[in-house]
């Protein structure tokens, strides 16, 4: 049975990463960047992590895009995305995952790689990511983590930010209770999951930490809490029931 809260270190400020890299400058990636930039306004005295972003477009094109959609983020070449960041968030369409080089997702300070992706309806996905039949319960993040590990990624993979729409991620964070809960899953507890949970909390959401990754299916499209404004206890129950 997955462990929820009981093995989780509280999302303390000292776990908050200093820098976050985001691969993908679309709606999800830029919404996350804006939510991170809002941290000092939600929590005066707490500095927002530096955010760097990369995409398939050249940095100059990404920079022009960010001026409009995430002005406090910095555009960098994809080769430099993880050079000085503790977290790398992958926010590209799953159909493009074969073009993601896992060797570029982790640098010397990387604590975790965060999977923010989802499979939408009949969206074409790589064969290795497709479900093995209609009754296959394996969450996509489990397949992604295994694929990247085979390619040499040693940083843990954490699933987060993927059950909430970019509209709500952009503006639903708050400091007053009740806060909306978001799942933060990994194969096992560790500093990477702690850093993601601290980021979720600083952004104004309640992190619900769980391990291993298998219950993440509850947070995917079609799952019982996907897209729902869920309290922490309800989200924990949904994850326990998987």
**Cβ neighbours of residue 37 closer than 8 Å, sequence gap 6 or more:** 48, 51, 70, 72, 73
> For residues 133 and 169, which has the higher predicted lDDT (pLDDT)?
169
Quick one: pLDDT at residue 13?
Answer: 55
Residues 139-192: tens digit of each pLDDT: 999 999 999 999 999 999 999 999 999 999 988 899 989 999 999 999 999 999
> For residues 133 and 82, which has the higher predicted lDDT (pLDDT)?
82
In 63-196, the DSSP E strands lie at 74-75, 87-90, 112-115, 157-159, 181-185
Residues 205-239: tens digit of each pLDDT: 999 999 999 999 999 888 888 988 999 999 999 99
What is the band of 8 on the pLDDT scale with cuts at 50, 70, 90? Answer: very low
Q: What is the dihedral of CA 109, 112, 115, 116, to 10 degrees?
A: -70
Residue 152, phi-psi category: left (phi > 0), alpha (psi -120 to 50), beta (remainder): left
**Three-state DSSP class for residue 20:** strand
Average pLDDT over residues 43-72: 95
CATH T-level fold of 3-240: Rossmann fold (3.40.50)
Quick one: pLDDT at residue 6?
Answer: 39
- Rounded to 5 degrees, φ, ψ at 240 are -65, -30
What is the band of 23 on the pLDDT scale with cuts at 50, 70, 90? Answer: very high
Average pLDDT over residues 48-72: 95
Quick one: pLDDT at residue 121?
Answer: 72
Integer Cα distance of 164 and 207 in angstroms: 13
Integer Cα distance of 47 and 190 in angstroms: 23
pLDDT at 3 over 50: no
Quick one: pLDDT at residue 28?
Answer: 95
Quick one: pLDDT at residue 149?
Answer: 96
> For residues 79 and 135, which has the higher predicted lDDT (pLDDT)?
79
């Amino acid at each position: 049975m997955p462990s929820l809260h009981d093995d989780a270190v509280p999302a303390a400020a000292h776990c908050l990463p200093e820098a976050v890299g985001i691969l993908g400058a679309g709606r999800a990636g830029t919404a996350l960047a804006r939510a991170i930039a809002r941290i000092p306004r939600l929590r005066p005295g707490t500095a927002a992590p530096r955010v760097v972003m990369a995409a398939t477009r050249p940095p100059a094109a990404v920079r022009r895009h960010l001026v409009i959609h995430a002005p406090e983020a910095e555009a960098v070449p994809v080769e430099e995305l993880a050079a000085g960041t503790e977290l790398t968030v992958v926010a590209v369409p799953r159909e493009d995952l074969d073009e993601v080089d896992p060797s570029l997702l982790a640098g010397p300070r990387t604590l975790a790689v965060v999977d923010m992706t989802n499979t939408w309806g009949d969206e074409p996905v790589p064969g290795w990511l497709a479900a093995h039949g209609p009754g296959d319960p394996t969450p996509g993040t489990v397949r992604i983590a295994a694929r990247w590990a085979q390619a040499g990624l040693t940083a843990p993979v954490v699933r987060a930010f993927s059950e909430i729409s970019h509209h709500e991620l952009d503006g639903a964070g708050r400091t007053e209770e009740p806060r909306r809960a978001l799942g933060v899953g990994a194969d096992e507890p560790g500093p990477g999951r702690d850093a993601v949970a601290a980021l979720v909390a600083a952004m104004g959401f309640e992190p619900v930490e769980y391990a291993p990754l298998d219950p993440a299916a509850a947070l995917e499209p079609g799952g019982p809490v996907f897209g729902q404004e869920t309290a922490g206890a309800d989200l924990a129950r949904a994850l326990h029931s998987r």
